[in-house]
Amino acid sequence: MAAGFKTVEPLEYYRRFLKENCRPDGRELGEFRTTTVNIGSITTADGSALVKLGNTTVICGIKAEFAEPPAQSTNKGYIVPNVDLPPLCSSRFRPGPPGEEAQAASQFIADVIENSEIIMKEDLCIANGKLSWVLYCDFICLDYDGNILDACTFALLAALKNVQLPTVTINEETGLAEVDLKQTNPLNIRKHPVATSFAVFDDTILIVDPTAEEEDLATGTVTIVMDEEGRLCSVHKPGGSGLTAAKLQDCITRAVTRHKEVKKLINKVIKSIKPK
C-alpha cells in the first residue's frame, strides 16, 4: 500500500515523513548519509580519491603535466576540473557531450578552487615565464543518487592531498626541464573547503544531503562551502525557492559542523595509509 502511495503521490508521501522530522530512509532532517573515502585508489594517476556518500559514488583522478604559464600571469600554473556524469551512473544521463548538470558541476568545482584558494596557482609555477604545472582534475560519477557537488568537493580535496609531484629543475645550458622522479613533494594545500548541500521542501523545510529523489521533489537546493577557519568560500543557489536570512544562517551553522566531520575522516584515512 505504501509503495503504491509513494508512486502515485511521491510529494505527499515525503511530507508525511517530514511532519515527523524524519525521512523515508530513516535519517533525521540534518543527518548525512554514511560517508567513506579511499585515497590513492588509481595507481596510474598522480593523485586520486574515491568518495561514497550513501549510494552516490565519485572518483577523482589528478594528472600533472607541463605547460607554458599564461601570458598575463607568467608566475602561475593551471588547475582544470572536469566532471563527467556518464549513463553508467544513472538512467537520467545520456551518452554524448556533457549535459547541463555536468557542466554546472564542473563550473562549481572551478569556482570552489578559485574562491577557497585551496591551492595558490603561484605554487604550480616551476620557472617564471617558462614552465608551470597544469593539474587536470577529472571526476567520474560511478553511481548517482543526489548531492553530486558535496561528493566532488570532498573527492577533490582528498585527491589533491594525495598528489606527489617530482622535483623539476631547468638546465641553464640547454634550457630544458630535468625531472627527478625519485624526489617528490606533496602539494601545498592552503585551505580545506568542504561543501554541504541542502534541499528546500515547501519553501520552508531544510534537509541536508538530499538523495536524487529528494532533489527532484524539492522546491530548491543550496550548497554552502566552508573552510577550516569558518570562512564562507561559496554559496551555490541554482534558482528555486528563496531562503530567509535565518534559514541561510542555519545552513552555514550545519556546514561548519560538517567541515569538522569531513576533516576528521580525511585525516584518519591519510594517517592509516602513511608508512609506519
Query: Where does residue 6 rank: exposed (0-12), middle (13-18), buried (19+ CB within 10 A)?
Result: middle
Cell numbers that stand for 36 in this block: 567513506
* pLDDT for the residue numbered 74: 87
* pLDDT for the residue numbered 239: 80
* pLDDT for the residue numbered 108: 96
What's the count of helices (H) and strands (E) in the chain, helices before strands?
Answer: 6, 12
- pLDDT under 70 in the chain at which residues? 1-7, 274-276
Helix (H) or strand (E) holding 233: strand 232-236
User: Is 144 within 8 Å of 56 (Cβ atoms)?
Assistant: yes
* pLDDT for the residue numbered 276: 37
pLDDT tens string 198-207: 999 887 889 9
* pLDDT for the residue numbered 3: 65
User: Is 199 within 8 Å of 80 (Cβ atoms)?
Assistant: no
